Structure 1
Amino acid sequence: MVVDSNKEIQDFILQEWRRQTPEEVSIAAERIADRFNGAVCGILFYGSCLRTGEIIDKVLDFYVIVDTYSSAYDSRWLAMANQVLPPNVFYHETEVNGVTVRSKYAVLSRADFAFRVRSECLNVSVWARFCQPCLLMLARDEETRLSIASDVAQAVKTMLGNYLDLVPTAKESRDLWVGAFEQTYSAELRSERSGKGLEIYLLDQDRYDALTALVEEVLNVVPDPFPPLKQPSRTERLAPRIRWMLRRWNGKIVSFLRLVKASMTFDGGIDYLAWKIKRHSGVEVEVTDRMRRRPVLSGIRLFWGLKRRGAFK
Structure 2
Amino acid sequence: MGDLQDLIAAELAQPVDARVRQAAGTIAAAHPGARAVLFYGSCLRTGEIDGQMLDFYLIVSDYRQAYGKRWLAWANQMIPPNVFPFERNGVAAKYAVLSEDHLRRECSVAARSPSVWARFAQPVRLVWAADDNARTTVRQAVASAPSTFLELVRPTMTNRQATDVLQIWREGFTLTYGSELRAERSGRPDAIVDQEPARYAKVANLLGFPRSDDDDARARQSAIEAWRQHQRRGKRLTLLRLAKASLTFAGGVDYLAWKINRHADAGIVVKPWQRRWPLLGALILLPRLLRRGAVR
| Fold equivalence (TM over 0.5) | yes
Select the residue among 18, 21, 30 that pairs with 1:23: 18
Report how far residue 188 of structure 1 moved.
Answer: 1.0
CA contact (8 A) 1:263 1:299 kept: no
What is aligned with 2:27?
32
1:108 corresponds to which of 98, 103, 108 = 98
Contact 2:179 / 2:230 at 8 angstroms: preserved in 1? yes
Q: Is the CA contact 1:89–1:105 (under 8 Å) kept in the aligned structure 2?
A: yes
Which residue in 2 is equivalent to 1:131?
121
AA partner of residue 92 (structure 1) = F
Alignment-mate amino acid for residue 292 of structure 2: R
In the TM superposition, what whole-angstrom CA distance separates every residue of 1:165-190 from its partner, at most 9, and x where no partner exists? 21152131221111111111111111
Would the aligned equivalents of 1:191 and 1:281 in 2 still touch at CA under 8 Å?
Answer: yes
When the two chains are superposed, the root-mean-square deviation of aligned CA atoms in Å is 1.5
Instruction: Pick the aligned partner of 2:9 from 10, 14, 19.
Output: 14
2:216 alignment counterpart = 232
* Displacement after TM superposition at 1:9 (Å): 1.3
Partner SS state of residue 39, structure 2: strand
- Using the TM superposition, give the Cα deviation of residue 233 of structure 1 relative to its aligned residue in structure 2, in angstroms: 6.7
Evaluate the alpha carbon distance shift between residue 233 and residue 197 of structure 1 in structure 2; reply closer, same or farther with a 3 A threshold. closer
User: Within the alignment, does 1:83 sit opposite 2:77 as a pair?
Assistant: yes
- Which runs of structure 2 are paired with 1:73-222 in the superposition (5 Å)? 73-95=67-89, 100-169=90-159, 170-216=162-208, 222=211
For 1:207, the aligned partner's letter is R
Larger radius of gyration: 1
Q: Distance in 2 between matches of 1:23 and 1:300?
A: 38
Q: CA deviation at 1:101?
A: 0.5
Equivalent residues, number:
294
Other structure's SS at 2:182 match: coil
Is 1:298 aligned to 2:259, yes or no? no
Question: What stretches of structure 2 of length at least 5 have no aligned partner?
Answer: none
- Deviation, 1:160, is 0.9
Q: Which whole-Å CA distance do the structure 2 matches of 1:247 and 1:22 have between them?
A: 36
Q: Check conservation: 1:122, 1:246, Cα contact below 8 A.
A: no
Look up the match of 2:293: 310
In structure 2, the CA distance between the partners of 1:150 and 1:101, relative to structure 1 (3 Å rule), is same
**For residue 163 of structure 1, what is the amino acid of its counterpart?**
V
Contact 2:39 2:57 (8 Å CA) reproduced:
yes
Structure 1 stretch displaced more, 155-164 or 134-143:
134-143
Q: Provide the C-alpha distance between the structure 1 equivalents of 2:135 and 2:36, rounded to a whole number of angstroms.
A: 8
Q: Secondary structure at the match of 1:216?
A: coil
1:256 to 239, 259, 271: 239
Report deviation, 1:91. 0.7
Aligned identity (percent) is: 40
Asked if 1 retains the 8 angstrom alpha-carbon contact of 2:185 and 2:264, the reply is yes
1:3 aligns with none
- 8 Å CA contact retained: 2:60, 2:97: yes
1:299 maps to a residue whose letter is A
Once residues 177 and 40 of structure 1 are traced to their aligned partners in structure 2, the CA distance between those partners, rounded to angstroms, is 32
SS of equivalent residue, structure 2 residue 85: strand
Q: Secondary structure at the match of 1:17?
A: helix
Partners in 1 of 2:37 and 2:158 — Cα distance? 35
- 1:14-73: per-residue Cα shift (whole Å, max 9, x none)? 011231121110111111111102x11100000111111111111110000000110000
Give structure 1 stretches of 5+ with no counterpart: 1-5
The AA in structure 1 aligned to 2:6 is D
Could you tell me whether the CA contact under 8 Å between 1:59 and 1:104 is conserved in 2?
Answer: yes
- Alpha-carbon contact 1:187-1:251 (below 8 Å) kept: yes
2:17 is matched by which residue type in structure 1? P
> Structure 1 counterpart of 2:258, which letter?
W
TM-score by length of 1: 0.90
Residues 157 and 220 of structure 2 are in contact (CA less than 8 Å); yes or no, is this contact kept in structure 1?
no
> Which letter does structure 2 place at the counterpart of 1:282?
D
